[in-house]
Amino acid sequence: MAPPIQQLISSTALPSELKLIAEKVLNNERITFDEGVTLYYKGELGFVGTLANHIREQKHGNKTFFNRNFHIEPTNICVFDCKFCSYSRLLKQKEGSWELNEEQIMDIIKKYDGQPVTEVHIVGGVHPKMGLKYFADLIKKIKDHRPDLHVKAFTAVELEYMFRKAKMSYVEGLKYFKEYGLNSLPGGGAEIFDEEVRKQICEDKCTTAQWLEIHETAHKLGIPSNATMLYGHIEKFEHRVDHMNRLRTLQDKTKGFNTFIPLKFRNKDNQMSHISEVSVVEDLRNYAIARIFMDNVPHLKAYWPMIGRTTAQLSLSFGVDDIDGTIDDSTKIYTMAGSEEQSPALTTQQLVDLIKQVNRKPIERDTLYNVVQDYTNYQFDEVVPVR
């Protein structure tokens, strides 16, 4: 029997514009902006899923990556006012806010001594008093304590604010952090690049141009990064394609993005709570179209603490090849916004089982996707320590 994608192409019922896209995917060709928009308006879940799964299996076979990481959120106090944010508090607003000092952060790091974690992910609110020097010293302390731990830290939003306050250019600031031990940047703060939509949902934080310039500068300095897209709120399909197109264009230039991470807008306790959340079908369609459109970004991540374990499992048939990490319950940005996972922690064994249940190969990776361990035939004969 012909592979599913060829069966699709030979189906007489398929509209010619979709057939053309399917042929491009089969021939490993890039789809255009307009074709991306067509997929959003006309591509049914089964159709986009078949194309995305073809690409996923061409790129990674059955492999599904995860890593052993933990998150530190130093504070949720933030000078900005993103309308979708359920997590931030103003400096003067004491209720529900937290600020960790250096000792408390180092205590979290030390909690993982002797545990085989490979990455710490540090992001938080943009605190007016926690500046560049504070965070550079913190990273150095972490690296002095545990040199092998990969430090993935600070969104472009946090960096833009710190560099502006320190009167440093992006090159100077990023070089400075790199010297202190910063290894890569997470993908947050991208939201939606369209300037009009951005103005409505997060007017006061770093602009699209600044976000892209910080990531471009990082890539040129040998600091890889991720990229996110916040979808399912007031944006139109065209805005999603525009967002991915700007990332794809930058990636052609720098090749510095490892992973694209679509983030579903969650509507609990924020200024956009009146907007309904999109369906699981839309989540899966979005992953699939992202996989088809972003042909030059190697990995597509479903961030399970936000989307939930079941959708994360499903997403592995819709283009996703990475389900992030073991994490722990210190990540609050989604739990406070109403995600399914109210206490997001999975042991390695649970993550491996989750992947195996849907017949994929669980591969533990480090931040840069070097294989740490292939768990396909691994037998857990005792309880493996969490994370």
Comparison of 82 and 261: residue with beta carbon closer to ligand SF4: 82
Closest CA to 261 of 212, 228, 217: 228
- Which residues of this chain interact with ligand V47, rule CB under 6 A? 84-86, 186-189, 191, 226, 228, 230, 261, 263, 265-266, 270, 303, 333, 337
Which of the listed partners (ligand V47, ligand SF4, none) does 309 bind, with a CB threshold of 5 to 8 Å by partner kind?
A: none
Minimum CB distance to ligand SF4 smaller for 39 or for 229: 229
CA-based nearest residue to 246, from 303, 191, 319:
191
Q: Does 82 bind ligand SF4 (CB under 6 A)?
A: yes
Residue (43 or 305) nearer to ligand V47, CB: 305
Shortest distance in whole angstroms from residue 124 CB to ligand SF4: 7
User: Does 126 participate in binding ligand SF4 (rule CB under 6 A)?
Assistant: yes
For residue 157, state whether it binds ligand SF4 (rule: CB under 6 A). Answer: yes
Among 87, 211, 287, 303, binds ligand SF4 (CB under 6 A): 87
Build a one-symbol-per-residue string for 202-231: x at contacts with ligand SF4 by CB under 6 A, - elsewhere: x--x--------------------------
* 129-148 footprint of ligand SF4 as x/- string (CB under 6 A): --------------------
> Any bridge partners for residue 228, and if so which?
261
Phi, psi of 96 (to 5 degrees): 80, 10
Question: Closest Cα to residue 189, out of 162, 150, 221?
Answer: 162
CA angle 267, 105, 84 (to 5 degrees): 15
Any contact of residue 284 with ligand SF4 (CB under 6 A)? no
Q: Give the strand order in the sheet containing 119-122.
A: 69-72, 119-122, 150-153
Cβ(251)–Cβ(257) below 8 Å = yes
Q: Interface with ligand SF4 includes 336 (CB under 6 A)?
A: no
Q: What are the contacts of 16-19 at 24+ separation with CB within 8 A?
A: 17/42, 18/42, 18/43, 18/47
The burial class, CB within 10 Å (0-12 / 13-18 / 19+), for 385 is exposed
Residues near ligand SF4, by CB under 6 A = 78, 80, 82, 85, 87-88, 125-126, 157, 202, 205
